[in-house]
Amino acid sequence: MEITGWGRFPKVTADVHEPVDFSSLQMLLTNNNPATKLVARGAGRSYGDSALAQCVISSRFMDNFSTLDESNLTIRCGAGVTLDAILRVCVPRGWFLPVVPGTSHVSVGGAIAADVHGKNHHVDGTFCDHLTAITLLLANGDLLSCSPSKNQEIFHATCGGMGLTGIIIDATIQLRAVPGAFIQSHSLVANNLRECFELFENNQGNHYSVAWLDCLARGPALGRSILFLGDHIADRHKRPAAYQTRLGITVPFNTPGFLLNRQSMTLFNNTYFKLKRRASKPATVKYNSFFFPLDNIANWNRLYGAKGFLQYQFLVPKDSAYEAIAAVLHKVAKSGKGSFLSVLKKMGPANKNYLSFPASGFTLALDFKFERSLLPLLEQLDEIVLAYSGRLYLAKDARMNEKVFKAGYPQWEKFAEIKRKVDPKGLFASLQSDRIGLTDALY
Amino acid sequence: MNIMIVGATSAIATATARLFAERRDHLFLIARNGERLSDLVADLKVRGAQSVGTLTLDFDDFSTHLSAVTEAANFLQQIDVALLCHGVLPDQAAGEENFKLALNAINTNGISVISLLTAIAQRLRTQGTGTIAVITSVAGMRGRQPNFIYGAAKALVSTYLQGMRGRLYEHNVHVIDIRPGLVDSPMTARFEKGLLWTTPEVVAKTIVSSITKKKHTVYVPGYWRYIMLLVNAIPEFIFKRLKF
């Protein structure tokens, strides 16, 4: 069948298997033709081709919880369980996931493979920093338990390892108690990029911080943005903590891509900036509207039209972050190609995982409707990112080349060495891992 | 509430059991595969189920059905809801050539349901309360070339439910016929999915709400009621030429 990542580019034909239990999963590995590469797929929320291969193994039915340890606040569940499902269980008990990305519809397996981060990276690190154990199915059919203290090397290769070390079967996640299901949030206005950087610097104490940025603003307004800050609080009205269901709307089909053009996007961004500038008072908001605003709109990826879209997320080290991001914004604003989703975030220090994206510095994510003329622009952006010793986020990528990857992830060789040990025949590979020279060239 | 689920490891049953578990219901699960059943028990407990009992059952061995229902009733004390979800999707072409295959499919999808319903109806009549919800299919509403063995078995169940609903009405027992359209589940893994397909989670929500609202015949999603009106309106001399 034809499948894609969340960005709907590229589209490929693949054999997709949805094993319903462990024995049928094992059978898939043992019966696999050695020439066919496999990759695991969770909720399909990585944007590009990280979870695309000739043969795709979906964790859709590996979605059982196994234990909830109420005294140590840990939960063990299958790789196919979504963060949304975990919140359904935790929130009513007054607990929360220590790290959530911008959507709750990712699977635990995907969150581990991409070592996702959230608005609190500067305080709490990544999703994988809160795992107490994972179970991995290796290429030879064996199960391996690993953790920060057991089979450490394989653990650090699997966290952020994009599914290339094996198939993640289950994980044990450390939860945390929170005062309530609400977030005390307020927003601050930055009229340009410099102001935005200062605001990040001066508001380090907030648990959660992230900025929406108008990537189409030019001249003195370049980098104008709204910084959103938040902390968990109890509800003033003493309502018990409850899982918050959403009054969702659905985008039923692909909207014509031409609706997203320079004029419409500029209009949207101007309006959004002006509205948010007015409404910057502190407010108590539900956790889902703070963390997962886009989860309200099912299939929002269809807004970008049938050809799909690319997200370009890069990270640059702190010292030269301002120059690098200003240079990227100049290029993007000049091209007129950006869109409404541009997100800037100050990150904390890196962890020990070989291929994890986050490190001290700033990360900017930009969405672009797919069009042929986009690719040369992104290559120009790659050059800027490389010149400032930056890297691109694998979970968002669908097009970076081998050189950009290897320059951005200096520990790739260490990763490849471990991968050779656990997967000597090179069973696990994705279109992405082949493209960036992480798999094909190894064998 | 105290809920008995037959065919509990099917995708629709699992999704529904999870919604019951979140309401902190008591559950008794019956399924063919014991290993998957014990995984599901752990899952439902984490999700909030107060208690979960299980039984492994060969649905085609009708002689065990009465004791299975008794065991469920003993565990739950009272069966407030009995939800029947078990079934298989037979290979139509093979079944047309080999009667044994057709018989197996009709036994599992049709006769075993009637057998279980007989035991459940007895129990609920004695209790003087309860709801029986059975998953049939829109395939039971008109025999179509690609799946009339499956459809015929489902039609058998739907017709049986219609009559049983009246019989049990005076005993304060409610009967619901749930007719899903195309559901993306392991049973339909071999099909290409298109626009009309829905997920087990959507069907599960409808099942829970139709039990609360005491519906009679439920189409999931609701638009299948109108699709089937159209399908049933096609004159036979045209319909017999259609391959869909």
Q: What is the CATH number of the domain that holds B42?
A: 3.40.50.720
| Interchain contact, B186 vs A18, CB within 8 Å | yes
CA distance B37 to chain A (A): 11
In this predicted structure, what is the pLDDT of residue A245? 64
pLDDT for the residue A278 = 72
Q: Tell me how close the Cα of A78 comes to any Cα of chain B, in angstroms.
A: 10
**Residue A171: CB partners within 8 Å, gap ≥ 6?**
A76, A77, A79, A108, A109, A112, A131, A133, A134, A135
Q: Give me the total of CB pairs closer than 8 Å, taking one residue from chain A and one from chain B.
A: 36
Domain-embedded: residue B203: yes
A13 vs B: CB within 8 A: no
d(C-alpha A291, C-alpha A152), whole Å: 31
**CA gyration radius, chain A:** 21
The beta strand positions in A175-296, using DSSP E, are 176-177, 182-190, 208-213, 225-233, 249-250, 283-286
Using one digit for the tens of pLDDT, what is the confidence trace for B189-227? 888 888 899 999 999 999 999 999 999 999 999 999 999
pLDDT for res A267: 82
Q: Mutate which of A62, A65, A245 to test chain B, going by most B C-beta atoms within 10 A?
A: A65
Neighboring chain B residues of A18 at a CB cutoff of 8 Å: 186, 189
A65 contact residues in B (CB cutoff 8 A): 42-43, 46-47
Whether B40 sits inside 8 A of A18 (CB atoms) is: no
For residue B101, the SS3 value is helix
A1 interfaces chain B, CB cutoff of 8 Å: yes
Low-confidence ranges of chain B (pLDDT < 70): none
Nearest to A89 among B11, B39, B46 (CB): B46
Tokens, residue B185? 């589940």
Instruction: Confirm whether B127 is domain-assigned.
Output: yes
Structural domain contains residue B170 = yes
Q: Mark yes or no for CB contact A21/B189 under 8 Å.
A: no
Q: Which helix (H) or strand (E) holds B2?
A: strand B2-6
Whole-prediction pTM value? 0.95
- Give the full edge-to-edge strand order of the sheet including A342-347: A283-286, A182-190, A225-233, A208-213, A342-347, A361-369, A309-316, A391-392
Residues with Cβ < 8 Å from A428, sequence gap 6 or more? A37, A38, A39, A40, A139, A163, A164, A165, A166, A167, A439
- Work out the minimum CA distance from B31 to partner chain A, whole angstroms: 14
Q: How many domains does chain B have?
A: 1
Domain that holds residue B141: 2-239
Question: Which of the four CATH numbers 3.60.15.10, 3.40.50.300, 3.30.460.20, 3.30.70.2520 does domain A182-399 have?
Answer: 3.30.70.2520
Query: Domain coordinates of chain A in residue numbers?
Result: 65-178, 182-399
Architecture of domain A65-178: 2-Layer Sandwich (3.30)
Q: What is the spatial distance between Cα A426 and Cα B3, in angstroms, rounded to a whole number?
A: 48
pLDDT of residue A40: 98
The pLDDT score that the predictor gives to residue A383 is 97
Provide the b/e sequence for A116-141 (b: ≥16 CB within 10 Å).
bbbbbbbbbbbbbbbbebbbbbbbee
pLDDT tens for each residue of chain A, 443 residues long: 899 999 999 999 999 999 999 999 999 998 888 888 999 999 999 999 999 999 999 999 999 999 999 999 999 999 999 999 999 999 999 999 999 999 999 999 999 999 999 999 999 999 999 999 999 999 999 999 999 999 999 999 999 999 999 999 999 999 999 998 899 999 999 999 999 999 999 998 999 999 999 988 889 999 999 999 999 998 777 666 777 666 567 777 777 777 778 788 888 888 888 877 776 678 888 899 999 988 888 888 888 888 999 999 999 999 999 999 999 999 998 888 877 779 999 999 999 999 999 999 999 999 999 999 999 999 999 999 999 999 999 999 999 999 999 999 999 999 999 999 999 999 999 999 999 999 975 54
Which one of A13, A18, A20, A173 would you mutate to disrupt binding with B, by most B Cβ within 10 Å of its Cβ?
A20
B46: nearest CB among A1, A21, A65 = A65
Tell me which residues of chain A, numbers 52 to 91, contact chain B at a CB-CB cutoff of 8 Å: 61, 64-68, 75, 77, 88-89
Chain A CB contacts of B22 under 8 Å are 88
Residue A254, helix vs strand vs coil: coil
| Facing residue for B192 by CB, picked from A1, A21, A64 | A1
Euclidean distance between CA atoms B79 and A417, whole angstroms: 58
ipTM rounded to 2 decimals? 0.92
Exposure class string for A388-413: b at 16+ Cβ within 10 A, else e: bbbbbbbbbbbbbeeebbeebbebbe
Q: From A20, which residue of chain B is nearest by alpha-carbon distance?
A: B186
Q: Which position has the token pair 């050695």?
A: A34
Q: Is B244 within a domain?
A: no
A366–chain B nearest CA distance, Å = 30
Could you tell me where the beta strands, DSSP code E, fall in A82-222? Answer: 95-96, 131-137, 143-146, 167-174, 176-177, 182-190, 208-213
Of the candidates A18, A64, A68, the beta carbon closest to that of B189 is on: A18
Of A18, A64, A68, the CB nearest to B40: A64
